[in-house]
Amino acid sequence: MTAETAFRSDEHFTQDEFRRWLDDRPQSDINHYELINGRIVMIPPAGWPHGRVGMALSSRLNEHVSSHGKIKSRVLPKLDLSVEDVFAF
């Protein structure tokens, strides 16, 4: 299943340029952006079925965490992977 895109840049970006471009996006922007073959591709937020499942899962996780008191957590570093890194055969 291929995700529908709403925006694809005409110019090419490096990973550093893409990171700066992302940092300049307003916080109100809820879209998901990826750098694919040097071009920025925007994928709109999930629609109703996907969003409903996400909300249900989030609610269940919140109930579980709330019922078990304090839980230690840690933030994992965000990985910067290119499509070539993920799909290398």
Q: Measure the CA angle with vertex 76, ends 29 and 25; round to 5°.
A: 15
pLDDT given for residue 74 in this prediction: 66
Residue 70 has pLDDT above 50, yes or no: yes
Q: What is the per-residue pLDDT across 43-59, written as a single tens digit (0 to 9) for each?
A: 877 777 878 888 898 88
Domain boundaries, the chain: 7-67
31 pLDDT exceeds 80? yes
With beta carbons less than 8 A apart as the criterion, state whether 71 and 65 touch: yes
| Least confident among 30-34, 46-50, 66-70, 71-75 | 71-75
Strand 7-8 relative to strand 32-36, pairing:
unpaired
Q: Does the pLDDT of residue 24 top 70, yes or no?
A: yes
* Residue linked to tokens 């055969």: 89
Whether 11 shows a pLDDT value over 70: the answer reads yes
